[in-house]
Structure 1
């Protein structure tokens, strides 16, 4: 694989917030997974990036969840985690309950960002979530620059419509060297 030779222009101290559930969710559209270690190494090549937070929930039932969290921490990310909740919802027929995994970090990402606002010039978010519009607006009002890394088809309209103080780029433009092979768990199904 060769690199896309795309370079981010970082003109100041930078903090990165990675919502790993979002990044992992991009694998369906990407047809490959972002590799947590390769992504970290890619980001660390920028000397302006001083902090990289990774947000991901721990599923106490699955041992692979704890293994992943240990790996992410060992790589060097500042790991922020909490327990995954399981919410009962009805199936499509409306007769049976199924358990849906839920572990949203929007609040934690927003609070952490505002706690760090005076320490960094640039905030980079790996999430296309439209719920962050208010956070981004406040950062821009405080004179901060916002970078949003997203996957095509996974960027909220609210973010797409922002024009000032923000740079939006698809993850596919960053580097060809941040991916791992697809696992069977995320490969498109063949019917």
Structure 2
């Protein structure tokens, strides 16, 4: 990544997109480490996190993360997810945050030197081009190492820099939290393998 110590930085994190990319890479994002890393790379003036929330649910698995981010240096931008029915008749939720991200990036281009977009969505290509015309540099963080790739080729070409999320795994990542039954199963497999090795030595 090309950053200068005097760069005024702003981060724009498409929560759902980043979650999917990290999941495809097999790790979880440590948002404390992410903030610390970019504070080292310049003058961080704002870190936005965008996500849609299902308001009717008594408990949302994303709510603890959203609350933590809100108290720990991130500017939360949320809206209610819309319910729809897919082609199989299953209830699904949709919450597109593209407009909110576009508005904030255009506004911040006037006061930031370097904008970092955590999304591979090709719909942002025109936005990146518009921000660049205002004089800001843009780095896109996503991945092409997943199957299929999460980052649009058009977006990668438009950005001043592209950083593959896989290359940041050791810096801002932590191992994925597996369900307990999988953890226990893997532990049992390791124990069995160690017992087998001990028997073989005898």
**Shared fold, TM over 0.5:** yes
How much has 1:129 moved relative to structure 2?
0.8
Higher RCO, 1 or 2 (CA under 8 Å, sep at least 6)?
1
Q: State the alpha-carbon separation in 2 of the partners of residues 111 and 40 from structure 1.
A: 22
* 2:48 equivalent to 1:53: yes
How much has 1:175 moved relative to structure 2?
5.4
The correspondence of residues 10-25 of structure 1 with structure 2, limited to 5 A, is 10=4, 12-25=7-20
Q: State the alpha-carbon separation in 1 of the partners of residues 62 and 166 from structure 2.
A: 26
* 2:156 equivalent to 1:160: yes
Unpaired runs of 5+ in structure 2?
183-202
How much has 1:21 moved relative to structure 2?
0.7
Rg comparison, structure with higher value: 2
Instruction: Name the count of aligned residue pairs.
Output: 173
Higher relative helix content: 2
Q: CA RMSD in A?
A: 2.0
Q: Is the 8 A contact 2:10 2:116 kept in 1?
A: yes
TM-score (norm. length: structure 2): 0.78
TM-score (norm. length: structure 1): 0.82
Unpaired runs of 5+ in structure 1?
1-6, 92-96
Q: State the alpha-carbon separation in 2 of the partners of residues 166 and 8 from structure 1.
A: 9
* 2:173 equivalent to 1:179: yes
Q: Deviations over 1:113-165 (max 9, x none)?
A: 11222111111100011000111111111221111011221111211333xx6
How much has 1:24 moved relative to structure 2?
0.5
- Structure 1 stretches of 4+ with a deviation exceeding 4 A read none
